[in-house]
Chains A and B, each alone.
Chain A
Amino acid sequence: MFDKIKKDFTTMTWVLIPVAIAINIAIGQIVVLLKLPVFLDSIGTVLVGIICGPWAGALTGALANTIWGLFNPDSLPWWPVAFFIGLVAGLCANAGLFKNWWKVILSGFLIALTAAIVSTPISVYLYGGITASGSSFITAYLLQTGQGIWSAVVSTSFLTEPVDKITTAMLAFAIVQGLSKRLVARFPRPENAEVEEGTNRTQLIIALVVVVVVIALGFLVRNMLAG
């Protein structure tokens, strides 16, 4: 077991991790600049998960939050969330879920599910459910409508996480596809990044349309709940 994990931590992995953390933070800041309603601050983590295995991804996530915490201490308590994002991304990649756009969307959804589950207890115990993030307005609204704190926090996460994490997974997949085969082969798990036949632009467009429809449905359901 340990030897297997050790095999994923080659020098290439150790060198990729700092770059991935810097990518997380730099893209996170670009997204803030563009005023988009997502975070996209774990693309590097998912990337490491795909080409270096789940444990390398998990380590990247945990360290990313620790280092982010050096100048934004509010992000420190969330490191378990980042840890599991990297872990699940790596497990999905090992299971062959980063090989075409459909599967990537499924991975993104699985990552979102994990993130929602892991972040809930932190949010409830540390912040009483209402954190410093903008999505807390939804939680606050649900609390006002009389929902319990756990269900309010969980449903907020289920509304906000999938959009963010599916986009993250798709961007990470696109980045891996854009790298040269020679470079990817130097990392511990190049087989995770092999694309299935028939993966092309048309599939991406259909996949994107499906995602948009699902999100629109989500908003509809939310509005209906809000009544």
Chain B
Amino acid sequence: MHERLSYYVKRDSALHRLNPLTKIILALSIVLVSIVSPWYWTAHILLLLVIVPLSFAGRVSREYFTSAIRLILPAAGFIFLMQAFFQPIGNTVIFKYLFLDVTQESLSFAFRISTRIAVMISAFTLFLLTTHPSELMSDLTRRGLPPQFAYVIISTLQILPQMQAKAQTIIAAQRSRGLDTESTFFKRAGSVVPLVGPLVFGSLVEVEERAIAIEARGFTSKSIKTSLHEIPDSLSDKIIRWVLILLVLLSIALKIWLS
């Protein structure tokens, strides 16, 4: 139940040195191109010839492959099996069991969709492995994102582990008092309220205190705040961003032109 909250691995690499905005555009354009591209093999090529080399360039290949096995492979594999068995397309039956049939067409469709999902998850995993959340937020705030958004995201990342720890404590406490969390359906459904109640009320009471605290530190002040930590944004970053945007527009145009 307890997950690692930030994927970020602190290393020095070309990918780490890129501006956070460039990296998020990179991830988004990989995903968009893999979805809109009219060619069958685009997603597979992106995965093998863009994402894997990028993971080496970012010196996070070991972490990337670990998460690929733990996270991406199960998700994509499940979708592949579901699609292969259940898509009612095609006539060339390869394998048949009861009412399930795997056809050549459903196999190739499944392969395409599951690779697309793998590309989507991979692109963002790579982005998260090489970008620290607060670096991304301070860069976006500098570019005009209201600072409240940065507060919400960073503060959620801090509250979440506390909340999960609190949930564990409440579950343990209620179990020790005899709450049934494992037997019949109705017993389990009935134990939602004694678990959710203390968790929610406990955390909502803190809201007011926190509001007063950040208000006292100039949260709603409109003056521009200076940042202690400068985030580099080089010329090559700008060029990469424009090239990526052009590539996305190009593939959308191709899709429209070919369909």
By a beta-carbon cutoff of 8 Å, the part of chain A in contact with chain B is 9, 11-12, 14-19, 21-23, 25-27, 29-31, 33-36, 40, 43, 63, 66-67, 69-71, 73-74, 76-77, 126-128, 130-132, 136, 139-141, 143-144, 146, 171, 174-175, 178-179, 183, 186
Contacts and interface: CB of A to CB of B under 8 A. Distances in A.
Say whether chain A's binding surface is mostly helix, strand, loop, or mixed: helix
A126 B113 CA distance: 8
B159 to A, nearest CB: 5
A30 B171 contact: yes
Given A16-B204, A23-B200, 17 more contacts: A14-B219, A18-B151, A22-B163, A26-B164, A26-B166, A26-B199, A30-B199, A34-B191, A69-B124, A70-B7, A73-B71, A130-B87, A131-B79, A144-B99, A175-B200, A183-B205, A186-B211
Contact of B199 (A12, A23, A71, A174): A23
A16 B200 CA distance: 12
Contact of A183 (B82, B188, B208): B208
Contact of B201 (A66, A171, A178): A178
B152 A14 contact: yes
B113 A127 contact: yes
Contacts of B128: 70
B220 A11 contact: yes
B93 interface: no
Contacts of A183: 204-205, 207-208
A30 B3 contact: no
22 contacts: A11-B219, A14-B211, A22-B156, A25-B160, A25-B163, A27-B196, A29-B1, A30-B196, A33-B1, A34-B189, A35-B188, A63-B153, A70-B7, A74-B117, A76-B124, A128-B87, A130-B83, A140-B85, A146-B88, A175-B197, A175-B204, A179-B201
B228 interface: no
B181 interface: yes
A178 B196 CA distance: 12
Given A15-B210, A26-B164, A132 B201 contact: no
Nearest to B159: A22
A183 B208 CA distance: 8
Contact of A18 (B133, B159, B185): B159
